[in-house]
Amino acid sequence: MQVYVIGLGHIGLPMACFIAISGKQVIGIDNNPQVIKAVKNGSINIYEHYNGLHISKLAKKLIDQGKLTVTKNLRTIDQHPGVFIVSVGIKSSDDFKQDISPIKEVMDTLVPQLKPGDLIIFRTTLIPGTIDEHVIPRLESLNIPVYLAYCPETMAETQAFQELNNNPIVMAGKDEESFAKAKEFFNSISDAPIHKASNIKTAELIKVVQNISRDVEIALVNEISVVAEALKVDTYEVLNLSNTHPRVKLLQPGPGVGGYCLPNALVYLKHTLLKGKNTDIPLSLMEVARKSNLDRPKKIVALIEQALKDVNKTLEKSCIAILGLAMKDNCADCRYSPAIDIAKMLTEKGAKVKGFDPVVGKKFPFQVDTLQECIVNSDCILITAVQPGI
């Protein structure tokens, strides 16, 4: 069985390696030539390990062993039915506008090459209704039996291989045969339990709801930390002792919400409601949580400004060290990272900013190469993500 993994980002590359490790032949496709080059030469910057081996070295090893091939162009290699894992997502801009063109481009390339018996599995986060609107009609126009399933991705960076093998999977098929084919494939590579959703739109919504749930929980705990500070009690004592209750599971406060999934989840939901003309459904709780998380970096900057003022310093003449630039702990992903937002705000206010993150490649002008260089002569040290080496 030939497996094609389309999109070699934070989800696709671990998925391609995981499937190759299971014994199947894998072709990984990414339309970005720089990604293909980085995978081939072992320099991809995703903070992931398998049995102590960094994913960049693992991918190169699998390529050298002939178990994994990576290429820019999607081309089927034989006439036997194959499995196509689509890990390409929806583009999102800084203002959270959504661009579905990557999904359409995949379908434009894939559909003319499909054969009877092919299985397509979307393993990504989508606006609910995307498969029904943009994928199924294309497949039905072929008038050949092609199987289709959707499985939300739920992997956390640094834990991809463990979670691919163990995390419960929510999955839906276009029909019963599609679900059975996709379940058979996943059972052949993983021990993860599979939960069946009644239809694909439901499975798409489940992932959005999971993301919104985390967004709301983070907003809540950050607000609790503000209350605790105002009452001059220890935030972490409040949270830890609150969590002794068996039905309470509060998170830890932080600088905000980053990554691709959580910041875009509410936008996906609103987009779906708008398309269905359900514009009168109030989302007040979700809206407040989202705004709270967007505003969190501003509040962190205000805390820094006040802390400096308390020791007779001004932000404009201070040097701020930021430790951890990724969107969360143990991660190299800087998409929508609150640490980057904080750095930009501090710079705009006249502060000198130095940032250090041992697992994030050099991307920003304020980055320095060592922890010592970052903290020396700094007036304030801000820890925004806990990383190895910090």
pLDDT for residue 97 is more than 80:
no
Q: Give residue-wise pLDDT tens across range 194-217.
A: 999 999 999 999 999 999 999 999
Rounded to whole angstroms, the Cα distance separating 36 from 333 reads: 18
Regarding beta strands 49-50 and 25-29, do their DSSP bridges make them parallel or antiparallel, or are they unpaired?
A: unpaired
Q: Give residue-wise pLDDT tens across range 282-337.
A: 999 999 999 999 999 999 999 999 999 999 999 998 999 999 999 999 999 999 99
- HEC secondary structure over the chain: CEEEEECCCCCHHHHHHHHHHCCCEEEEECCCHHHHHHHHHCCCCCCCEECCEEHHHHHHHHHHCCCEEEECCCCCCCCCCCEEEECCCCEECCCCCEECHHHHHHHHHHHHHCCCCCEEEECCCCCCCHHHHHHHHHHHCCCCCCEEEECCCCCCCCCHHHHHHHCCEEEEECCHHHHHHHHHHHHHHCCCCEEECCCHHHHHHHHHHHHHHHHHHHHHHHHHHHHHHHCCCCHHHHHHHHCCCCCCCCCCCCCCCCCCHHHHHHHHHHHHHHHCCCCCCCCHHHHHHHHHHHHHHHHHHHHHHHHHHHCCCCHHHCEEEEECCCCCCCCCCCCCCHHHHHHHHHHHCCCEEEEECCCCCCCCCCECCCHHHHHCCCCEEEECCCCCCC
Higher pLDDT, 112 or 78: 112
Q: What are 116's two structure tokens? A: 């009877």
Mean pLDDT of the chain: 95
**CATH of segment(s) 207-383:** 3.40.50.720
pLDDT, average across residues 227-249: 97
pLDDT for residue 74 is more than 90:
yes
Q: How far is CA 72 from the centre of its chain?
A: 22
Spell out the domain ranges in the chain.
2-198, 207-383
Rounded to whole angstroms, the Cα distance separating 342 from 349 reads: 11
Is the Cβ–Cβ distance between 155 and 260 less than 8 Å?
Answer: no
Regarding beta strands 2-6 and 83-86, do their DSSP bridges make them parallel or antiparallel, or are they unpaired?
A: parallel
pLDDT for residue 280 is more than 90:
no
pLDDT > 70: what percent of the chain? Answer: 99
Confidence of residue 277 (pLDDT cuts 50, 70, 90): confident
Establish whether domains 2-198 and 207-383 are of one fold: yes
Rounded to whole angstroms, the Cα distance separating 320 from 277 reads: 47
Higher pLDDT, 89 or 206: 206
Rounded to whole angstroms, the Cα distance separating 334 from 14 reads: 18
pLDDT for residue 29 is more than 90:
yes
pLDDT for residue 22 is more than 80:
yes
Which of 258-262, 345-349, 363-367 has the weakest average pLDDT? 258-262
pLDDT, average across residues 121-129: 95
pLDDT, average across residues 76-89: 93
| Residue 30 Cα distances to 5, 12, 100, 138, angstroms | 9, 9, 17, 22
Q: How far is CA 149 from the centre of its chain?
A: 20
pLDDT for residue 275 is more than 90:
no
Residue range 2-198 in CATH 3.40.50.2300: no
